[in-house]
Amino acid sequence: MIRWIAFDADDTLWENEKYYHKGQVLLAALLEPYQPNEVVEATLLQIETSNLPWYGYGIKSFGLSMIETAIQLSNGEVGSKEINSILNHLRYMLSQPAELLPGVLETIDILLQKDFRLMVITKGDLLDQERKLTNSKLQKYFEAYEVVSDKLDETYARILSRYDILPNEFLMVGNSLRSDILPVIKIGGYGVYIPHTFTWEHEQVSGTSSHADGYFQIESFKELPGVIEKIKTL
């Protein structure tokens, strides 16, 4: 029986990727004299992905990859004006309020009334993720807030053993099949996938289906209590 529900944070509880998307648009504009939009987008993704093992996830890592892309695609021509625009955008991202997605607050209330224990498992910069949690005013609802460097099956297994949770007592909710859903299914837990309009290409997995891979898909956060009831009867 499910006792614990864990939530991804970015683009599950609050908006996030749209600020990264704005950064991509800015970078394409800065590099317009050198390369077309598609090349900028593809190079940024490739540089971000190759930097992940070094810098991890989050805004600071994104910023370093933006700068590296700008230098590479302009053959070293970009100057302090362009670099400064990138830094300003990073500061803008870091100062955004945590904008809750529709239905989050009401749904969390319902889940608490049903006696579920709640936690958050998120990647990203520790300081930024803590800032957003404080801003979101959701802190009081969660018993645990885990900021991890990656979300692999062993990451989840480690968290479950730390809190003394069996896999079949654990359900993870998130917008990334790669990070939030498939690793949890792999260790024997439940996954509820809520797609978001913007999902970083790195987090997308092709060729999966809820039917074949054993997760549940809903369109909005509000459907969560309903789908949990359905899982309980399986």
> Segment near Mg ion (CB under 5 A), from 48-56, 130-138, 155-163, 168-176?
168-176
Which one of 175, 185, 194, 200 is in contact with Mg ion (CB under 5 A)? 175
Tell whether residue 125 is a contact of Mg ion (CB under 5 A).
no
CB of 175 to Mg ion, least distance (A): 5
CB closer to Mg ion out of 30 and 101: 101
Sheet holding 4-7, edge to edge: 144-147, 117-122, 4-7, 170-174, 190-193, 216-217
Residues in 10-29 that interact with Mg ion by CB under 5 A:
10-11
Q: Is 122 in the site for Mg ion (CB under 5 A)?
A: no
CB of 140 to Mg ion, least distance (A): 22
Q: Beta-carbon neighbour count of residue 137 at 10 Å?
A: 11
Choices 6-14, 55-63, 66-74, 160-168; region in contact with Mg ion by CB under 5 A: 6-14
| CB of 154 vs Mg ion, minimal distance in Å | 19
Considering only the stretches 91-99, 144-152, 167-175, 212-220, report the one whose residues sit in contact with Mg ion under the rule CB under 5 A.
167-175
Are 216 and 191 spatial neighbours (Cβ–Cβ below 8 Å)?
yes
User: Does residue 146 touch Mg ion according to CB under 5 A?
Assistant: no
Nearest distance in Å: CB 75, Mg ion: 35
| Residue 15 beta carbon to Mg ion: minimum distance, rounded to whole angstroms | 10
- Site of interaction with Mg ion (CB under 5 A): 8, 10-11, 175
